[in-house]
Structure 1
Amino acid sequence: MNLYGLLSLFASTISIVLGVSVFFLNRTAKINRLFLAVMIFNSYWAFCLYMMAQSPNLASAIFWQKALFLWPFLMSILLHFTLVYTESNLLKSKFIYIALYFPALFFSLIDLTIPNMISTTPTLKFWGYQNTLPNNSLLCWLDNIWACSVAVLMLVFFVRYYNSLKDKTKKQQTKIVAIAFTIPIVFALITDSLFPFAEIDFPGLGAISCSITTFFVAYGVLKFELFSFRPEIAAESIFSKMSDAVILVRLDGKIMKVNRAFIDLIGYSEEEVVGKSLNEMLSITNTVNQENSQPIIENLRNVREIKNYELSFYTKTGEKRIGTVSGSMVSDNGGKDVGAAFVLHDVTERRIIEQKLLKAERFASIGELAGMLGHDLRNPLAGIRNANFFLQRRLDSKLNPQEKAMFENIDKNIDYSNKIINDLLDYASCYSDEVKLELSQVTPKTLIKNATALVVQPKNITIIDETKDTPQFYVDEAKICRSFINILKNAFDAMPKGGEIQVLSVADADKVTLTFKDNGCGMTKETIAKLWTPLFTTKAKGMGFGMVICKRNITAHGGKISLESVLGQGTTITVELPLNLKPSG
């Protein structure tokens, strides 16, 4: 056995020993398993070269050359290891695994099945049989170009990752790993690829040079706990990947570190935050109840920890957010306080949902009360109407004009009271388990025609009906007409001195849109914000149910209603109704 054979056998053995040793440092870590795979393939590569070099004849050398056909997978696994080590986002895509391993599979199968495309017949040198490459094979050139590209990509990923790190230990570990793999790759590209193409007689040192990797990795394991499970590494990983915002503060109140979630939440960069005092940050973010936030910082040494302290703050873009803060003092091994850690949990969406639920429950309670009142008032109101009618008929000949006017006034107020009762019952039905629709076929023109026929139109207001007789579609005509009547009445009330209401219809593929546009007094932003709230009204007479019922009837059809208004110029209400409703049965 010559020196080359001895070094190849040593490289094969030491690769297995190193790979297994690193694997058992942390068997659950993906990076350790990939490192083991790299070392196994390098051992396989070195062993095949050893057996080929020591072959007693050409037939044996050719056998071991063919046995080496899987060597491209070493490059794929090396790049995979690099992506995992550098925490590359590319691994989130499933297609990256195809890009990683398909070229290796392709070149391996070509080398195994088609002679003289990737490698040619081994030649005998003074150190033993040597693998040779065909100069005129395009696939061989592509194979080597691919291997060079993988090497360059690895170096690029390591350099970028190294520059992004702030932890000194992690930087040292990255430097060691990068050097440990770069040296053998460079040797392999020169002695196993370039020299054969240049017909330079020199033994391939790629597999043997991996012995250098052993020394670098061993140094990294002993000096910097490379590939080991370190609590500080785990803490750093948890800190950076937590979904909640985390702030680390020194004893002097200066912020020393924040995680990515905190940056994403408040919108400020890390440079804008780190180094500022916590009180200054509270001021910058316009924290609500800041005077109550002060004890969180000043008294934390006394209380040692706080839990779920709720506060409101503003992001850099001016968006208001709500969060709960928990914090505790951080001590060193000797029990001395060195700072404080705070976790900020964003509960904005949860608070919005809770408010919506409370509002829905309140509206439902109002609806239940409205239904009870409606039913309870309808019977005595009917009695009053009947008594009034009887007295009018009985005393008609004896009543003077003033007395008749009083009876007529009673009738009008009964009608108005009955309208309130109907509004109460309609609102109650909106919050029943299901709004029942009695569908009938209509057109935009018929809906507006029927609605205007049922409403008392002031003489000084003109309705310009520009709706169309198409398309035909199904709705609950009574409910939609009731909604349109409410819209028209509101428009009438907005134009006490007269004006115009323009009604348009536009049909799309799946919906018809009706627009009601008036030139009345318009509404303020505050009024628009409360328009769909029960019991809200700007009128002297009214219960504030009209637009709520209107919206509920339209949404029960799967439609939408929206409003635009400019104070002093008028209001435009847009109603969208679907065309896909069909009667059941």
Structure 2
Amino acid sequence: MLSQLNDDHSFYFRVFEKSPIAVALLSSDGKLLRANQSLCKLLGYSEIELINTSNSYVTHSEDLADELALWRKLVQGETDGFQIEKRYIHKSGTIIWGLQNVTVERNHQGIHPNDIFISHIIDITEQKKKEEEFKKIEELHNLISEHSQDVILRLTPEGVISYVSPAIRIQMGYEPEELIGKYAYDYWHQDDLNGGWLRRGHSDQSDSRIFVYRLRHKNGHYIWQESHSKKIRNAAGDIQHVISMGRDITERVHSEELIRRSEKLSLVGELAAGIAHEIRNPLTSLRGFMQLYLKEDMNGTKKLRNEVMISEIDRINEIVSELLVLAKPSNEAYELRDIVHELNHVTTLFEGQANLYNVQIKKEFDANLPLIQCQRSINQVFINILKNAIESMPKCGEVIIQAKQMNDAINIRITDTGYGIPQNDIAKIGNPFYTTKESGTGLGLMVSMKIIQNHKGTLRFESEIGKGTMVEVVIPIVMKP
């Protein structure tokens, strides 16, 4: 049977003709000797039209040089075959991509002009189209990533960063290459880690999620970020990587916090309006009787007890006074004031207490600061902040008061070297009756926040245990409606 097949040339030509792969027989000078039906169908020509044409006749001009270089090596015996991806020109003028494999059937040892070259061509046009589409998508992705203000991350299934867009410089202060290979969750705030699905050992069936969390900036502070994350799966359903697009929402979170505080203040104000006057009237009577008892205690045996009771009544009265400030709307007139003059006035008020606590007060004011539109109550803010600063340093310390213009606002910072506030408690500042002082009520800063809110400004705190606290007050120079 094998000998019959070897002798039956017609059999091989039938195989040649019926092959689903395009096949051509070529001479050493590149002329086409035979073309099977698949090749004719691929190029749109009949075999008669292709016979004796050179290979370059149907090859795209931009691919000729590469193919000819490989052809010369094959003809000269330097290689036994080559493979090349090249473009063919269809009879209609359209472009077809083909994967061409060329081998040689030599008639005897060495190079001979009668050597037959066999070319097998596989149509890879669709594959090339997909590659081109993928390339365009990749280029578009890179274009978006390089210019997007949002941070785009690509993570491994374990949460290791494999790509980060340049927007990371603005948002977190890092260069992109500083984060490559790092575990993304190492930069999350510890209290926000429970919400993550890339966390080691955590499973979640959803492929798309939105997270809101805090990220540690390179400078050490935290920013709020909202990210849209999607798991990318392969055909087997396994995660190849995760894409995350994150946006800085710190300002939005602060605005929402201001709204919550405003609602809280409004509620406290309503409560205060209902109870403050009712408390103050009996307090006045109680204090009067206590003073009478002091006078009747001729030998002073009850003096200590009575003085403690008067002190506590006065403390309740002070709380009621602060509640009344929250309860009534601010009807004070706004007028142009010199913020440096106001700060100097407040500093003078506390010189005696500062000396008692052995606290040094330093002032750093920019020259020629503009006047600002504000109410007289703005002094109460500085009084509350400076009082807290001095009382946070019962043995000794230093307070620095700074004032400078920043764009259309005055920035005032009061920094102490006191015992500081725990990070977890900073968000509670301004809550009713939250205080770090043994005898404090927490209403002083709540009132201060209301006053600053009335001035359309901001009040911000930074603190570290054992190092001190910085309170920043930002007040617009001219309030806009």
Q: Return the TM-score normalized by structure 2.
A: 0.50
**More strand as a share of residues:** 2
**More helix as a share of residues:** 1
